[in-house]
Structure 1
Amino acid sequence: MNRLTDTQMTARSRRNLWIALALVGFIVMIFSTTFLRMQHNAEMAREANLARSTALDLPTAPQEARP
């Protein structure tokens, strides 16, 4: 097996560091996107529930008697 020179080891370490940073950046991007979408969906559900409860509280017009 060939031994790597100091220059090759330095290049490998630098490459590994950049790969690790890219992976961490990707993970942060996916996490933040998921979190923001969940927050938006929760807000929309809250508004829908409020609208539904407001609609239920409104008095309804009396129905006409049909023969």
Structure 2
Amino acid sequence: MTSEGAEGAEGLSAEGVEPGTVRPGGRTARVREAVLRAAGDALVEHGFDGLDLADVARRAEVGKTT
């Protein structure tokens, strides 16, 4: 890691977007929460070895590429 910290030379955050451009309650946040919840549920039900991304996507009601 460089001495630039979380923000790089271009002023981008660690996620690669300009600070303040992502709305915390927007679609991206809702989709992320749905995927994380679905993944957690699938892990509890099937364990890590049984984790299937198609199942997680189905549970989260998103496409597999999301």
**TM-score, with normalisation over the residues of structure 2?**
0.33
Q: Which has the higher contact order (CA 8 A, sep 6+)?
A: 2
Instruction: Look at both structures and tell me which one has the larger radius of gyration over its CA atoms.
Output: 1
**TM-score, with normalisation over the residues of structure 1?**
0.33
Bigger share in helix: 1
